[in-house]
Amino acid sequence: DRFRKYINWDYCLRSDICILAAKSFENMYGNLDLRLSFFLKFILKPDIIEDENQGCDMAWVSEDILKSLRYDSKTISNVKRLISYSDSIIQENKPSIKKLLKDIGPCDFKRLLALKGSLAPLGCRGSLSEDRLKNISAMYKDIIENNECYKLSSLALNGEDLKRLGVKQGREIGKVLSRLLDAVIENPQLNSREELIKYTKRGHII
């Protein structure tokens, strides 16, 4: 009963919406994380606020619901992460895709696309139309096949290089690497050791 206030009753009990949801749900056979994420996105209010002092978003409510239903911790974590990113805006360009890949990785990115596509017929916030989904999926495939840089391990410069450039050990190295990765995501031509050293010095990163 404590979850009743979070349910979007007026929306999810509409017969036309239920029919569309059932069709999308059928297409996710065999993928529990995706099905649970879709179901929770479907039934919960898009904006959940407990009171003026304490926010309570959909991801946290979803976690509580799944815990009460005794799902395993891995499933709960996967679903919570998908729902956390379900309203994220993915623009139809590689930098936007790479930034999200940097945060959640390829596996969750593909599942997120599937979730956003399945929510499109329902008109849910953050959903992707079929055309946009195809374009973004094609760009994602191109990024992976061409091994384009979106993670620190693919960066042409590493922590040891930065130490030799005078960057202090610890958090500072991580901050500089993160800024360099962001630069490479926006401009892939920068991802060579020489170019990144020049960029680091020229941009006053160190």
Residue 19: CB atoms within 10 A of its CB come to 10
Same-domain check for residues 67 and 165: no
Residue listed under structure tokens 């990024």: 143
pLDDT for the residue 187: 95
Question: Which of helix, strand or coil describes residue 169?
Answer: coil
Same-domain check for residues 19 and 91: yes
DSSP string over 58-75: HHHHHHHHHHHTT--HHH
Q: pTM score, two decimals? A: 0.84
Same-domain check for residues 61 and 139: yes
Six-digit token pair at 119? Answer: 């929510």
Domain that residue 170 falls in: 152-202
Could you read off the pLDDT of 9-61 as tens digits, one per residue? Answer: 676 767 676 676 677 777 776 789 999 998 888 878 776 544 444 445 888 88
Rg from Cα positions in the chain: 21
Same-domain check for residues 49 and 33: yes
Same-domain check for residues 19 and 111: yes
- In degrees and rounded to multiples of 5, residue 143 shows phi and psi of -60, -45
Count: domains in the chain: 2
Among candidate residues 125, 145, 165, the one where a domain is terminated: 145
Could you read off the pLDDT of 98-143 as tens digits, one per residue? Answer: 999 999 999 999 999 999 998 888 888 888 999 999 999 999 999 9
Same-domain check for residues 81 and 162: no
> What span, in angstroms and rounded, lies between the C-alpha atoms of 193 and 72?
44
Same-domain check for residues 67 and 120: yes
